[in-house]
Amino acid sequence: MKFDLDGVVGTPRNYENISLKCDFSGNNNVLSIGADSIIFVNEQREKILQHRYTLGVTEGIPLTITCDNGQQLEYYVDLQEKTIYRDYEIECTIKKRWANDSFFTLADGFTFDLGKAKGIVYDIFDTPYAIIETNQVMKGLVLSVALYTMTEALADAIKEAQNLVAEFTSAIGIDVSDALAAGIKLAAQIAYLVALVLAIKKLCEQLRELIFPKIRYFKASKVKDLIVKSANYLGYQVQSTLFNALSGLTILPVPIIKGKTDILQYIENDLNFAFTKGFPSTQDTVNTLGDLIRAVETTFNARTTVFDGVVRIERRDYQFNAYQQNLFPALNIQAKRQNEYELNTADSFKRAYVSYRVDFSDLHTVNKFDPADHEVSVEQSNVNNADLVSIKGLRRVDIPFSLADRKKELNWLEKRVLSFFQFVDTITSIFGNGTNFAGIITNRIGVTQISQQFFGTTKLMWTVAGKQPANYLNYISARNIWLNYHLIDAISNNGYRIYSNARTMLSSLDFLALQNCNYANINGVDNCELLTVDYNDYDKSAVISYKEPENWAFNTNLIPIND
């Protein structure tokens, strides 16, 4: 390997002890230097001192490591971390450029407000919602009395109008004074009837606005768009088949009133503007790019790897069955000429619980709890001694959002009122001033429903053209998130032997290929998952730790608790 420190090529003093290391065990350091530090001497030492006294220690020094196959790895010397100055050498810590550490350092300090201020144009769109209050029983009683009274009055007025028409008709041609009197009473009754219809219409408008507030719109955005555009601004590209499968995944931020009149100065019917920015802000459960990516990782059992400026977010077993390597490591206890391994029993669990957060400021998240959580239990199939069964542990998937509730049908009050509003629409159309109260009610199906104007927890949605389709729970219910993304972690599907510290021969080209896939055929066994690879370019060897599939949990099964 060649070491180019910002244009100065040299060989570190501890070159023979420097290795390249891949770590796939959850640390996300796909490729790093397998040494605590590098010792620079001669011209490279002078380069570090020159940099220190001209630019200071707050800016790193570029370091390019070239492997014997020509592959270049971009690092930098971090002079702020464990740098030791000696008379003839400087011992430094180096870090990977355009990798996980550098990316998440930027992502954790990057808010979407900052992105907008920097000129990022997020794809913000409107999503409809309706305020469906939970105290509709009392309002329904009041409405029922009012509607009954007005309907009775309208029916009596129509009957009286019919009687007056008959009286007027019979008086014509008999007595002019009687006909005139009957005509005046008929005209008065018609005027009363029209006034009554207008009063009913006005009452319906007031009742509709009270109990059936109009459809309004919040602004929302797609998760993929937020992550991709923000990462692009930071200089990184995003590649993800997971996001291709989650194209409808949408963030609905909590409502805010920044720059608006005090909310107490508005009556309910004036709340016809969007209170959300469309992207998460400081009031949301995720308010930075790093937070949002980790929320995706938690919810969809994903891992994020960053290499050479490319951010890849995938379900953790994305590379399963995609291996190209065949490795033949030696026995990992050479002194005794034998192998040793352990089972991944630490990965087992008795209970798995996937849940969204409950938002008590939106009581629909309390009432509609079935799709918002899912629990399964791991049970032993055949048991000899029940007291000796020791399956233990809890797998908790805490989704940091509340689940947006879609209005899928009319409730009892809306159904009760619908027929009356249809009647009102018919009556008002006869008098030439038609209404569409019934349409206002039926158009509410499919919108997001909340119990009040403001809620306190960021909502997760699945939208198509701004609206949640009828099958949105197929994608984001807790049960389907478990089945599609976390079931692979059930021990009956995730049993392995773990081998540690096995030495194998490996070329630099093969080592670098492992960055793109950490699965391999090892000693003839397919789909072994590499955990760590510590490669020494000096002698073209590697020490690996890996998992070999074994269904040691064959005597267990999964029992859904709340299906």
Nearest CA to 167 out of 184, 179, 154 is that of 179
Helices of type H across 35-135: 42-54, 100-107, 112-117
Are 390 and 421 in the same domain? Answer: no
pLDDT at residue 115, rounded to an integer: 95
Joined together, the tokens standing for residue 235 give 């200089």
Are 548 and 506 in the same domain? Answer: yes
Biggest CA pair distance of the chain: 132
User: pLDDT-based confidence at 408, cuts 50/70/90?
Assistant: confident
User: Environment class of residue 206 by beta-carbon count within 10 Å: exposed (0-12), middle (13-18) or buried (19+)?
Assistant: exposed
Q: How many domains does the chain have?
A: 4
Are 382 and 463 in the same domain? Answer: yes
Which residues in 135-288 belong to E strands, given as ranges?
A: 216-222, 237-239, 249-252
SS (H, E, C) 401-433: CEECCECCCCCHHHHHHHHHHHHHHHHHHHCCC
Domain membership of residue 549 (yes or no) is yes
Region 342-357: mean pLDDT is 94
Task: Find out whether 406 and 448 touch, Cβ atoms under 8 Å.
Answer: yes
User: pLDDT-based confidence at 65, cuts 50/70/90?
Assistant: confident
Single-letter code of the amino acid located at 94: I
Of residues 203 and 92, more confidently modeled = 92
Domain membership of residue 104 (yes or no) is no
Are 200 and 300 in the same domain? Answer: no
- Residue 134: CB atoms within 10 Å: 12
Are 516 and 550 in the same domain? Answer: yes
Domain membership of residue 186 (yes or no) is yes
Ramachandran quadrant class, 167 (left: phi over 0; alpha: psi -120 to 50; beta: rest): alpha
Give the span between the Cα atoms of 388 and 88, in whole angstroms.
Answer: 64
| CA R_g for the chain | 35
pLDDT at residue 495, rounded to an integer: 94
Region 202-209: mean pLDDT is 64
Per-residue pLDDT of 312-325, as tens digits, reads: 999 988 887 777 78
Domain that holds residue 502: 325-346+491-560
Which pairs count as long-range contacts for 146-151, CB under 8 Å and 24+ apart, including other chains?
A: 146/203, 146/207, 147/207, 147/417, 147/420, 150/196, 150/199, 150/200, 150/203, 151/420
Domain membership of residue 265 (yes or no) is yes
Statement: residue 311 has pLDDT above 90 = yes
Give the span between the Cα atoms of 132 and 362, in whole angstroms.
Answer: 10
Region 473-487: mean pLDDT is 96
User: pLDDT-based confidence at 459, cuts 50/70/90?
Assistant: very high
User: pLDDT-based confidence at 150, cuts 50/70/90?
Assistant: low
Residue in the structure block whose two tokens are 């000429």: 337
Per-residue pLDDT of 261-309, as tens digits, reads: 454 444 444 454 446 789 999 889 999 999 999 999 999 999 998 888 8
Element (H, E) at 9: strand 8-10
Report which listed range, 15-29, 262-276, 381-395, is most confident. Answer: 381-395
Region 4-22: mean pLDDT is 86
User: pLDDT-based confidence at 36, cuts 50/70/90?
Assistant: low
Per-residue pLDDT of 154-197, as tens digits, reads: 666 666 665 655 555 665 655 556 556 656 665 666 766 666 67
Domain membership of residue 105 (yes or no) is no
Are 403 and 311 in the same domain? Answer: yes
Q: Share the mean pLDDT of the chain.
A: 83
The neighbouring-strand residues paired with 560 are: 376
User: pLDDT-based confidence at 100, cuts 50/70/90?
Assistant: confident
Task: Find out whether 407 and 130 touch, Cβ atoms under 8 Å.
Answer: yes
Nearest CA to 374 out of 491, 481, 490 is that of 481
Phi, psi for residue 189 in degrees, rounded to 5: -65, -40
Are 257 and 401 in the same domain? Answer: yes
Domain membership of residue 497 (yes or no) is yes
Of residues 265 and 437, more confidently modeled = 437
Are 330 and 303 in the same domain? Answer: no
pLDDT at residue 468, rounded to an integer: 93
Nearest CA to 311 out of 110, 18, 552 is that of 110
Give the span between the Cα atoms of 462 and 457, in whole angstroms.
Answer: 16
Domain membership of residue 452 (yes or no) is no
pLDDT at residue 181, rounded to an integer: 62
Region 40-53: mean pLDDT is 94
Share of residues in the chain with pLDDT > 90 (%): 46
Are 386 and 245 in the same domain? Answer: yes
pLDDT at residue 51, rounded to an integer: 95
Are 189 and 292 in the same domain? Answer: no
Single-letter code of the amino acid located at 374: H
Single-letter code of the amino acid located at 303: R
Query: With the CA atoms of 463, 464, 470 and 474 taken in that order, what torsion angle do they form, in degrees rounded to the nearest 10?
Result: -60
User: pLDDT-based confidence at 415, cuts 50/70/90?
Assistant: confident
Domain membership of residue 107 (yes or no) is no
pLDDT at residue 433, rounded to an integer: 66
Phi, psi for residue 165 in degrees, rounded to 5: -60, -45
pLDDT at residue 322, rounded to an integer: 74
Are 280 and 398 in the same domain? Answer: yes
Task: Find out whether 489 and 301 touch, Cβ atoms under 8 Å.
Answer: yes
Task: Find out whether 63 and 1 touch, Cβ atoms under 8 Å.
Answer: no
Give the span between the Cα atoms of 169 and 36, in whole angstroms.
Answer: 109
Region 464-475: mean pLDDT is 93
Region 8-29: mean pLDDT is 78
SS (H, E, C) 523-544: CCEEEEEEEEEEEECCCCEEEE
Are 122 and 161 in the same domain? Answer: no
Region 201-224: mean pLDDT is 77
Strand order in the sheet with 124-131: 402-403, 459-462, 249-252, 216-222, 124-131, 448-450
